[in-house]
């Protein structure tokens, strides 16, 4: 009897851990974009203020968020969005590297590249809703 309870408890714990891990990997797209929207101006402020360490932290956050955007778009077989997500990750990594080296000229140039990548994806895959907000289009 104790053995059965032990195995049931292990099974329940494993299911809880698995469900939590799944939920963390697949959070809603609008939450990811809200995090990007909050981090992007912070990055620009830190670049303009020559705060390399803070800019590098922001760029690292953006890399994570763009990894999540790639994971969102991949199952939808939206190749341009996947490509732009990967490009955004690469550019955010370049910003992080440059910011850590206090090379703000390079970091700002990469920031402009990142803006274009974001704008390209938004133009192709985002429609404004009457009354405010956006909807995505695969």
pLDDT digits (tens, 9 = 90+) for 64-109: 999 999 999 999 999 999 999 999 999 999 999 999 999 999 999 9
Domain boundary assignment for the chain: 28-136
pLDDT at 9 (0 to 100): 52
52-56 own/partner pairs: CB under 8 Å, 24+ apart: 52/99, 52/100, 52/101, 52/102, 52/104, 52/107, 53/99, 53/100, 55/95, 55/99, 55/104, 55/107, 56/95, 56/96, 56/99, 56/100
- Superfamily of structural domain 28-136: Cytochrome c/b562 (1.20.120.10)
Average pLDDT over the chain, rounded to an integer: 88
pLDDT at 10 (0 to 100): 63
Q: Highest mean pLDDT range out of 10-14, 24-28, 58-62, 131-135?
A: 58-62
pLDDT at 104 (0 to 100): 97
């Amino acid at each position: 009897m104790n053995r059965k309870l032990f195995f049931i408890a292990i099974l329940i714990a494993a299911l809880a851990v698995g469900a939590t891990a799944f939920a963390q990997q697949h959070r809603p797209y609008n939450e990811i974009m809200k995090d990007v929207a909050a981090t992007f101006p912070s990055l620009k402020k830190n670049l303009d203020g020559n705060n390399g360490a803070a800019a590098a932290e922001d760029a690292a956050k953006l890399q994570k968020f763009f990894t999540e955007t790639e994971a969102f778009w991949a199952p939808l077989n939206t190749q341009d969005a996947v490509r732009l997500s990967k490009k955004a990750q690469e550019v955010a990594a370049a910003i992080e590297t440059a910011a850590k080296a206090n090379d703000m000229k390079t970091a700002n140039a990469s920031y402009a590249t990142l803006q274009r990548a974001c704008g390209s994806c938004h133009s192709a895959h985002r429609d404004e809703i009457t009354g405010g907000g956006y909807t995505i289009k695969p």
